[in-house]
Homo-oligomer: A and B are copies of this chain.
Amino acid sequence: MPVAADTRAPTVAMLDAAAARLAGHIRCTPLLSSPALDAVARRRVLVKAECLQHTGSFKLRGAWAAVSALSPAARARGVIAWSSGNHAQGVAAAARAHGMRAVIVMPADAPRIKTAATRALGAELIPYDRAHDDREAIAAGIIKRDGLTLIRPYDDPQVIAGQGSVGLELAAQLASEGIDQAEVLVPCGGGGLAAGVALALDARAPGLRVRPVEPEGHDDTARALAGQPHHPNPGPSALCDAILTPRPGLLTLPVLQRLAGPGLAVADHDTLRAMAAAAAHLKLVIEPGGAVALAAALFQPATLRPGPVVIIASGGNVDRALFARALDTED
């Protein structure tokens, strides 16, 4: 039983309205750089540090945009989401700020830092088995019983509009750096961030082009943008838990086909090296799924247009042990 969805295409007007609702509640994250990273990449590298966002990832933006768009009646009933962690924290934090109930259907093997943080934000957690359970069916049952509104992680126009606020900030920040032509590398799971940023840049900084970045073997968006027929990704990779999606979103893919690409895919080893480089030179903790764009910028220079490159470091919610493993990765 599929849950009813809002299937409107996201628009720039929705982005602007979402940005107005977000104002004062989310951080305008800094645009950072380091001569050492520039030297590795052999070009200027500008890093939008969304790992410094409240809840540790950009996901709060989309969740806040969606929650704040609900009717008073829907707010009174509350929201539900499924997520491996960052969207969960975003929905939990946004719901709590709006005085709403939040239920999160979360994989039982999600990073502990994400489950603990989501619980600390007051959400009710429903664990499920990633391999055997149907998270949508679990959510549908709870929705039928309690009348909660489902906040989808990316296939929701308000969520995409909220993530687009990253692009609105980037357009202004890059203008003040004098950069009006560049590729913007964006970590991509379902494509909500990439699509939202692409919409924002198309409207406000059309010389900046989004290129989605995925883990090797999970580059369903890159393949779709290249016109290849869909086939399932191979078995799960444990590393980039935040951006492992089986296929591009129904609302995000048309935006990306119109405004973004080509896609890039990076090896897990390069993602770990990028995490170590970000710690050493930017003093940032970036999670694997948030580091794929930096990995592409640092270690795939030949695949990029000449000139400065902008990357989004989309989240920082990584368990200590995995982060220590990244720090220990050989160059």
Give chain A's interface residues, CB within 8 Å of chain B: 27, 29-30, 32, 35-36, 39, 51-52, 56, 113, 117, 120-121, 276, 279-286, 316, 320, 323-324, 327-328
CB<8 Å pairs between A and B, sample of 26: A27-B30, A29-B30, A30-B30, A32-B52, A35-B120, A35-B121, A36-B120, A39-B120, A51-B283, A52-B282, A52-B283, A52-B284, A56-B283, A279-B285, A279-B320, A279-B323, A280-B320, A283-B285, A283-B286, A283-B316, A285-B285, A320-B327, A320-B328, A324-B324, A324-B327, A324-B328
Kindly list the 7 A-B residue pairs having the minimum CB-CB distance in the complex, ordered from nearest.
Answer: A283-B316, A283-B285, A51-B283, A324-B324, A320-B327, A279-B285, A324-B327
Give the one of A121, A280, A281, A316 with max B CB within 10 A: A280
Give the one of A32, A113, A282, A284 with max B CB within 10 A: A284
Number of copies: 2
CA distance A283 to B29 in the complex (A): 13
- Contact residues in B for A121 (Cβ distance below 8 Å): 35
Question: Is the pair A280, B113 in contact by a Cβ cutoff of 8 Å?
Answer: yes
Closest to A93 in B: B35
- Contact residues in B for A120 (Cβ distance below 8 Å): 35-36, 39
Closest to A27 in B: B30
Dominant SS at the A interface?
Answer: helix
The smallest beta-carbon distance between A95 and chain B, in angstroms, is 14
The smallest beta-carbon distance between A282 and chain B, in angstroms, is 8
CA distance A91 to B216 in the complex (A): 42
